[in-house]
Amino acid sequence: MSEKKFNPAKLAKLNHPDRYDRENPERIWKTLKLDNPRVIVDIGTGTGFFAIPFSRHMPEGTVYACDIADEILQWLEENLPEELRDRIIPVKMEERAVPLPAGIADLVLMVNLHHELEDAAAILSEAFRLLKPGGKVAIVDWKDEPTESGPPLEIRVSEQSLIDQLAAACFEQIRAHASLPCHHFLEAVKPQH
Ligand SMILES: C[S@@+](CC[C@H](N)C(=O)[O-])C[C@H]1O[C@@H](n2cnc3c(N)ncnc32)[C@H](O)[C@@H]1O
């Protein structure tokens, strides 16, 4: 396992209650102002800390919960709430590719993933491919400044770098939200044309 990658043995950390103050899924959902989304692709889903509450907002929708780690996906399979089992679909993906068809997603979500990526350009290109025209990508990742917890500073990504990467992947309407204390939070749109 690369040193950058989340250690699945620590997956309980992903469900730590402090996260509701720092990176609250409901706050992020509200900020994104999605228009009746039907399909979300959550890349690097972990324990579904976002996939689960986002799915509850979409009673008729589907969340594809994608991850590279078998242990993580197995945990998710075993712990998904019963009532969400047919709405959250765990998907095993590769480092640079998501095995889902193009143009299906209203939102591609990537939380605390960017600093772990071997090839961010490839994953942003996948996000672009997966989105419907007019669909959104959202990136939330640790600020590149000291915080009480989080990954080593050396592997964190600056907000400007995230903006540049989104622009290079052909996303438009790039917006940075300053609403989270320890995280960058960006959204961008796949153009209609
Ligand atoms: C720090 S965890 C964050 C999990 C979740 N997004 C959250 O915020 O609770 C990062 C996750 O991304 C996964 N991951 C790392 N590189 C990946 C890649 N290239 N594609 C998909 N998942 C990846 C790891 O296995 C891990 O589950």
Centroid of ligand 1 to alpha carbon of 15 (angstroms): 13
Residue 1's pLDDT is what?
Answer: 62
Pocket probe mutation, ligand 1, options 28, 50, 110, 113, max atoms within 8 Å of Cβ:
113
Phi, psi of 88 (to 5 degrees): -115, 120
- Summary mean pLDDT of the chain: 96
Which of ligand 1's atoms lies nearest the C-alpha of 118? 19
Q: Decide: 171 in ligand 1 pocket, CB within 6 A.
A: no
> What percent of the chain lies above the pLDDT cut of 90?
96
How large is the average pLDDT for residues 159-184?
98
> What percent of the chain lies above the pLDDT cut of 70?
99
Tell me which residue of 29, 41, 62 sits closest to 107, measured CA to CA.
Answer: 41
Question: For 31-46, what is each residue's pLDDT tens digit?
Answer: 999 999 999 999 999 9
Q: Atom 23 of ligand 1 has which residue's CA nearest to it?
A: 44
Residue 133's pLDDT is what?
Answer: 98
Task: Count other C-beta atoms under 10 Å from residue 167's C-beta.
Answer: 12
Q: Decide: 52 in ligand 1 pocket, CB within 6 A.
A: no
> Which domains, ranges and CATH numbers included, belong to the chain?
39-189 (3.40.50.150)
**pLDDT-based confidence at residue 2 (cuts at 50, 70, 90):** confident
Q: Name residue 87's amino acid.
A: R
Burial environment of residue 41 by CB neighbours within 10 A (0 to 12, 13 to 18, 19 or more): buried
Cβ contact 35:68 at 8 Å = no
Q: Decide: 5 in ligand 1 pocket, CB within 6 A.
A: yes
Q: Decide: 48 in ligand 1 pocket, CB within 6 A.
A: no
**pLDDT-based confidence at residue 3 (cuts at 50, 70, 90):** confident
Threshold 0.85, pTM exceeds? yes
Task: Count other C-beta atoms under 10 Å from residue 29's C-beta.
Answer: 19
Pocket probe mutation, ligand 1, options 22, 115, 116, max atoms within 8 Å of Cβ:
116
Question: For 105-163, what is each residue's pLDDT tens digit?
Answer: 999 999 999 999 999 999 999 999 999 999 999 999 999 999 999 999 999 999 999 99
Residue 193's pLDDT is what?
Answer: 82
Q: Decide: 68 in ligand 1 pocket, CB within 6 A.
A: yes
